Amino acid sequence: MTGFEYLEEEIRQWKQERTFRSLTELESDQASRVKIQGREVIQLSSNNYLGLTTHPRLQEAALQAVKDYGAGTGSVRTIAGTFSMHEALERKLADFKHTEAALVFQSGFTANVGVLSSILSEKDVVISDALNHASIIDGIRLTKAGRRIYKHADMDDLEKALQETQGARTRLVVTDGVFSMDGDVAPLPEIVELCEKYDALVMVDDAHASGVMGTNGRGTVDHFNLHGRVHIQVGTLSKAIGVLGGYVAGPSALRDYLIHRARPFLFSTSHPPAVTAACSAAIDVLLDEPEWVDRLWANTRLFKKGLQQLGFDTGKSETPITPVMVGNDALTHKFSDTLLEEGVYAQGIVYPTVPKGEARVRTIVTAGHSRQELEKALEAFGRAGQKLGLI
C-alpha cells in the first residue's frame, strides 16, 4: 500500500544505522528461562521480579475466575463493568499500601496518565523529575497545569522550582520511586520534607518498587517509612505482581474524583475476571510468602557483584534493575545479540528510551533465577564483553 513512504524512509535509515529491531518472540512461558527461536535461554529482561507470572496460586485463581465469571467484563467500570472482585482487589491494595483507598486502571501507564491528566488545572503546577517514566511525561502533556522539570534527583533544583511556583493553587511533585532505566532510588524522604516545607503534594510511581522494596514489597513509601506523608502512590500490577494493570492508592477523595474524571478509567473496559483474580492472589502471595522478596534481593546482590567483578560499569543502580553501560547504540545491540548467542536474553536499551551516548544492556534478575542460572549468565557476560572489547 502506498502513502507510508515517509515512514518507510525513516525505517530504512534505522536499518542503515543498525538501530532497527524486530520484536523478540517468546515461545514459552515467562520464567527464569525462556525459549527464543527454539532455544532455551536465561531470561534477564523481564519485570517478573518475583517470578509470579507462573506461580500456581495466580494460575489457579485465574482459571477459576474464568469458569465462574467468564472471559471478559463487557463494559467500562462506570456503566456495567464493575464486578465485586474489582472492588475487593482495590480494598486489598489500599490495605497493602496503608492508604484509605485505591483504584485500578488497565495498566500502570494509564494509571499515571489518568491521574495526572485529571486532577490538575491551569491554576496548578506539576514539578517532575527529568528521568520520570514516559507515562508520567505523557500524563503531564495532557494537563493544562504549568510544568517544571527538575534535574534528576537534584534537591537544590527541586527547591528552586518550589520557590518559583509559590503562586499556584496546588503544586504536585512527581517522581518514580525506582528509576526504570538506571535502577536508582528516588530521594523520597528529602522530596517529602521539601514538599512539606513548601506545602506541595507528592506523587510517587512505584512501578519498579512495588513487590520489590519495603515490607512484603509495599514499595518505597514503606521502605522509607513515609506512610501518611505521600499523597499519591501509583503502582503497577504488570511487573512484580506478575499480571497486568496499574493502580492509584491514596485518599478516598482522590479515588472518587478519578472515578468521575480520569479518562482511561471512564472510557476503557475493565479488567477481565482472570486478570483481577490473579492480581488479588498475587497480593496474598506477597503477604504469605515473603521469601520471594528475600530471594530477589539475594539474587540481585550476587549478580550485581558478579558484573562489577567482571569489570562492567553498572551505573548507579541500587535495585534489581542493573544496567550494563555501553554508550553506543549499534554496539549495544551487538552486545545483546552476542549474549543471546551465549544463551542469555538481555535486551539493549538505546535512544530514545535513554539519552544518546547512554545506551546500555539492561538486566533484571528475579526471585525465580537459580544460583546456577545466574553464574551461567555471568560467564556469558564475561565472554560476550571480552569478544566486543567492553571489558
Binding site for ligand PMP (CB under 6 A): 107-109, 112, 133, 135, 176, 180, 205, 207-208, 236, 238, 246
Contact 25, 36 (CB under 8 A): yes
Give whichever of 49 and 109 is closer to ligand PMP, judged by the CB atom: 109
Cα–Cα distance measured from residue 52 to residue 48, given in angstroms and rounded to the nearest whole number: 7
* Widest Cα–Cα separation across the chain: 61
Task: Cell 490473579: give the residue.
Answer: 278
Q: Cell numbers at residue 188, please?
A: 523520597
Active-site residue 238, yes or no?
A: no
Q: Which member of 86, 97, 231, 239 is catalytic? A: 239
Please name the helix (run of DSSP H) or strand (run of DSSP E) that holds residue 167, with its range, or none.
Answer: none
Cα–Cα distance measured from residue 240 to residue 356, given in angstroms and rounded to the nearest whole number: 29
Q: How far is the CB of 137 from ligand PMP (least distance, A)?
A: 10
Task: Cell 500524563: give the residue.
Answer: 139
Q: Cell numbers at residue 345, please?
A: 536474553
Give whichever of 165 and 236 is closer to ligand PMP, judged by the CB atom: 236
Q: Cell numbers at residue 60, please?
A: 489457579
Active-site residue 239, yes or no?
A: yes
Give whichever of 106 and 300 is closer to ligand PMP, judged by the CB atom: 106
User: How large is the C-alpha radius of gyration of the chain?
Assistant: 21
Active-site residue 252, yes or no?
A: no
Q: How far is the CB of 105 from ligand PMP (least distance, A)?
A: 8
Count helices and strands (H / E) in the chain.
14, 13
Q: Which member of 97, 133, 208, 271 is catalytic? A: 208
Distance linking the first and last C-alpha atoms of the chain: 47
Q: Which member of 180, 210, 270, 336 is catalytic? A: 180
Cα–Cα distance measured from residue 373 to residue 102, given in angstroms and rounded to the nearest whole number: 38
Q: How far is the CB of 179 from ligand PMP (least distance, A)?
A: 7
Q: How far is the CB of 107 from ligand PMP (least distance, A)?
A: 3
Q: How far is the CB of 48 from ligand PMP (least distance, A)?
A: 12
Cα–Cα distance measured from residue 307 to residue 377, given in angstroms and rounded to the nearest whole number: 10
What's the number of CA atoms in the CB half-sphere (13 Å) around residue 331? 15
Give whichever of 120 and 178 is closer to ligand PMP, judged by the CB atom: 178
Ordered alpha helix ranges (H), 165-203: 188-197
Give whichever of 48 and 180 is closer to ligand PMP, judged by the CB atom: 180
**SS3 at position 277:** helix
Give whichever of 176 and 358 is closer to ligand PMP, judged by the CB atom: 176
Give whichever of 51 and 219 is closer to ligand PMP, judged by the CB atom: 219
Q: How far is the CB of 135 from ligand PMP (least distance, A)?
A: 5
Contact 296, 212 (CB under 8 A): yes
CA quadruple 62, 346, 217, 51: dihedral, nearest 10: 40
Q: How far is the CB of 6 from ligand PMP (least distance, A)?
A: 28
Provide the residue type at 138 as one letter.
D
**Active-site residues: which are they?**
180, 208, 239
